[in-house]
Each structure stands twice: as structure tokens, then as C-alpha cells.
């Protein structure tokens, strides 16, 4: 399976993240699944004219390839000209290259939230960059390729959202396609592969016990649940971050900071400061989406009253001060 990769208005972080793929060497793993890069801007040998020749052959249909991976937002400005990002050495807008190449690709993957929905570039007040995603303009279907776009392989743009995206999400999507193919039923309503977007970040969070008892962190670096005070969106963000480790054993929550829901469209402008939880009458407004509010409030009050001292005290410091008690052996001599 041949993969052509382009970068536009992004930070290159999804490629850097991809290179962290574990446990096997990325290139070996891809090779063994029969996946090869026709060209990748950060990794390929071919440069300058040679690289442009490959791109032109792909865009004109002369050189067949399977997957177009695009990383970074589509910059349509200024005034629809696409001049905020021209292809180096060629002077044509990247938006034009992407449109041509998407017409030839069997499948189109948006790598990262910038490409899926527009990212921070689309969040500058007034969006002077005229930035958008491949098939979404933030939450709204549309984007560069249009809401109705389907690639030759019959799928909409596959949105491997995340800022950056996890290496496993890319590698598994490519391998799934290469080994088994992909169908609409493999994607959620936003085009994200279900194998990672079918979970919530909250699942498997090491702070789940604190969440149960609403034992909340009060300040940065505390061990408690980050939902009540520090802006955690883990109960609403679709991703398996706490089930699938980042960099060996990490995740945002394991790193001590809140999930900002980087796999969701519009995460860049939550309408409040990232590391604060907006509340009404002391109750966070961003409650878990599939739970009635009254129940949440009642349960929270109940569990707060039942919080063990260990959990309550550990929640507001950055290292464990209370160990779980060891049950005394009864009746022995």
C-alpha cells in the first residue's frame, strides 16, 4: 500500500509523534504490513525537483498511490488565494495540491486535529488565514474537500484527530486499511476510527478513584481528579488516551494536567481558560454527556460525604501521603 504524505498549516508534531511508535521500529512495522511512503516531507530522500516530479506524477494520475495523508490545516487565505502556504520550489498553493491529490487517492487520511477540523489556525479571531480542515470547518461539515466528498475507495476523509495524534492511531489505521480494508462502520460520526474514538479519555484514568469520590485537585500537580477545578474534559473527549499509553507509560492525566479534548472539533476555543472549570452555583457545567445532571449532582454529594480520608487527603498533594490500609489479621495468636 503506497502512502503519500503532505504537510501544510501545522506544527509537524503528528509526524514527530508518529516517529515515537512503539514497540517496534516504525519503518520495520510499516514495511512488514506492506506499507511504503511514496514521499514524506520529513523522511524521504528525494528533495527539490525530484520530489516535485513525484508529486506531479501522483496528482496527474500517472503514478498510482493508495492513501493521501495530510498533516496540518488547509490555509485558503489571503482572499481565497491559498498564498499563506505555497509549495516550496513550485509556487502553487498547497490547497490546490491537496485537492488534486485527493481526487486521485483511494483513501484520504486527515492526520491530526488541524487537518481534520482546522486546528488553532482556524481559531485566530476572524480566521484571517481562512483555515479549515479537509472535510470540516471546525464542527461544520464542509472544509476544503466539501461535506459530500468520498475518496475513490468510497470513504469520507478518515479523521485521525488528536493534537498531536497518537502514533498508534495512525499506524493502526494504516495497517487496518492495508490488511483488512475500512468501512463506514469503522468510523464515528466525525469520521474518526472507532478503535480509538469509541472510548472516552476518562476510561482507565488513574484518577478514577478520586473521581468516584469527587476528591478534586485544587492546584496544578495535585493528585486528585482534575474535572471539578482544573478543566478536565476526559468525561467528554473521545479517545483511548488512558487505555493506550503515550511515550511508554504516559497520558495527559498521568502527566498531572487536564485533558483539553484535543480530539474534538473546536477544542482550541473552549470558551473558558483551559486549566479552569467553568461552574454554575459550584457545579461544573461540562458534565459527562450521557448522565442526567440531577443524578450527577446527587451522586457527587453522596460520594463526597463518603470519601475516605486517604482519598481526600491524597487528592490535594502531589505525592501519596496516605497508603491504603492493610487489613489487620483477626484472631491470630
Partner 1 sequence: MSRIVVGPFNRVEGDLEVSLELEAGRIQAAYVNSPLFRGFEQILVGRAPLDALAIVPRICGICSVAQSAAAATALADAMGVTPTPNGLLARHLIQATENMADHLTHFYLFFMPDFARPDYVDRPWHPATAERFTAIKGSAAAEVLPARASFLRLMGFLAGRWPHTLAIQPGGSTRAITAGERIRLLALLREFRSFLERRLFGDALERIGQLASKADLLAWADGRAGDFPAFLKIAGDLGLERIGCADDRFLSHGAYGLFPAGTWQQGKTEAFAAARITEDTERAWLLADQPRHPAAGETIVAADKADAYTWCKAPRYAGQTHEVGALARQVVAGNPLLLDLVQRDGGSVMARVVARLQELALLIPAMEGWVQALQPGESFCAQGVMPDEGSGVGLVEAARGSLGHWLTIRRGRIERYQIIAPTTWNFSPRDATNQEGPLEKALLGLAAGDGAPPTIQHVVRSFDPCMVCTVH
Cα–Cα distance for residue pair 166/18, rounded to 1 Å: 7
Residue 261 binds: one of partner 1, ligand SF4, none (C-beta under 5 to 8 A by kind): ligand SF4
Residues with Cβ within 8 Å of 47's Cβ and at least 6 positions away in sequence, in order, are none
| Span 296-325, contacts to partner 1 by CB under 8 A | 318-319
Q: Are 4 and 61 in contact (CB under 8 A)?
A: no
Residue 195 binds: one of ligand SF4, partner 1, none (C-beta under 5 to 8 A by kind): none
Residue 205 binds: one of partner 1, ligand SF4, none (C-beta under 5 to 8 A by kind): ligand SF4
Cα–Cα distance for residue pair 136/284, rounded to 1 Å: 29
| Span 220-239, contacts to partner 1 by CB under 8 A | 220-221
Here the cell at position 215 is 476528591
* Binding map of ligand SF4 across residues 135-174, x = CB under 6 A, - = no contact: ---------------------------x------------
Residue 263 binds: one of ligand SF4, partner 1, none (C-beta under 5 to 8 A by kind): ligand SF4
144 vs 230, beta carbon nearer ligand SF4 = 230
84 vs 211, beta carbon nearer ligand SF4 = 211
DSSP string, 109-127: EEESHHHHH-TGGGGSTT-
Here the cell at position 204 is 482507565
Here the cell at position 308 is 475516605
149 binds partner 1 (CB under 8 A): no
Residue 207 binds: one of partner 1, ligand SF4, none (C-beta under 5 to 8 A by kind): ligand SF4
* Binding map of ligand SF4 across residues 185-204, x = CB under 6 A, - = no contact: ----------------xx--
58 binds partner 1 (CB under 8 A): no
Q: Are 41 and 78 in contact (CB under 8 A)?
A: no
Residues with Cβ within 8 Å of 216's Cβ and at least 6 positions away in sequence, in order, are 210, 224, 225, 226, 227, 228, 229, 315
39 vs 109, beta carbon nearer partner 1 = 39
Sign, CA dihedral 259-262-267-268, equals positive
Minimum Å gap between C-beta 272 and partner 1 is: 8
Cα–Cα distance for residue pair 90/86, rounded to 1 Å: 8
Q: Using the rule CB under 8 A, which residue among 78, 198, 206, 278 binds partner 1?
A: 78
Q: Are 215 and 225 in contact (CB under 8 A)?
A: yes
Residues in touch with ligand SF4 (CB under 6 A)? 162, 201-202, 205, 207-208, 211, 225-227, 232, 234-235, 237, 239, 241, 251-253, 259-263
Amino acid at each position: 500500500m503506497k502512502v503519500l504524505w503532505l504537510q501544510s498549516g501545522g506544527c509537524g508534531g503528528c509526524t514527530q509523534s508518529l516517529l515515537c511508535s512503539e514497540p517496534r521500529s516504525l519503518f520495520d512495522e510499516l514495511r512488514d504490513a506492506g506499507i511504503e511512503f511514496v514521499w514524506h516531507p520529513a523522511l524521504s530522500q528525494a528533495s527539490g525537483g525530484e520530489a516535485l516530479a513525484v508529486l506531479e506524477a501522483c496528482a496527474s494520475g500517472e503514478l498510482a498511490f493508495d492513501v493521501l495523508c495530510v498533516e496540518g490545516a488547509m490555509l485558503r487565505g489571503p482572499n481565497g488565494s491559498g498564498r499563506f502556504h505555497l509549495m516550496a520550489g513550485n509556487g502553487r498553493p498547497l490547497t490546490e495540491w491537496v485537492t488534486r491529490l485527493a481526487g486521485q487517492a483511494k483513501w484520504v487520511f486527515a492526520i491530526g486535529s488541524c487537518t481534520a477540523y482546522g486546528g488553532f489556525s482556524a481559531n485566530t479571531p476572524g480566521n484571517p488565514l481562512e483555515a479549515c480542515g479537509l472535510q470540516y470547518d471546525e464542527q461544520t461539515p464542509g472544509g476544503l474537500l466539501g461535506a459530500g466528498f468520498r475518496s475513490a475507495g468510497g470513504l469520507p476523509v478518515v479523521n485521525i484527530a488528536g493534537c498531536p495524534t497518537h502514533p498508534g492511531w495512525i499506524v493502526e489505521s494504516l495497517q487496518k486499511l492495508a490488511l483488512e480494508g475500512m468501512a463506514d462502520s469503522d468510523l464515528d460520526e466525525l469520521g474518526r476510527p472507532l478503535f480509538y474514538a469509541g472510548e472516552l479519555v476518562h476510561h482507565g484514568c488513574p484518577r478514577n478513584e478520586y473521581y468516584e469520590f469527587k476528591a478534586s485537585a485544587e492546584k496544578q500537580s495535585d493528585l486528585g481528579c482534575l474535572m471539578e477545578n482544573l478543566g478536565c474534559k476526559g468525561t467528554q473527549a473521545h479517545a483511548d488516551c488512558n487505555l493506550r499509553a503515550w511515550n511508554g507509560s504516559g497520558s495527559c492525566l498521568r502527566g498531572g494536567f487536564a485533558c483539553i479534548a484535543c480530539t474534538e472539533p473546536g477544542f482550541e476555543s473552549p470558551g473558558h481558560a483551559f486549566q479552569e472549570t467553568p461552574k454554575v452555583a459550584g457545579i461544573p457545567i461540562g458534565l459527562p454527556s450521557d448522565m442526567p445532571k440531577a443524578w450527577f449532582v446527587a451522586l457527587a454529594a453522596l460520594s463526597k460525604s463518603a470519601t475516605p480520608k486517604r482519598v481526600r487527603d491524597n487528592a490535594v498533594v502531589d505525592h501519596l501521603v496516605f497508603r491504603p490500609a492493610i487489613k489487620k489479621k483477626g484472631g491470630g495468636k
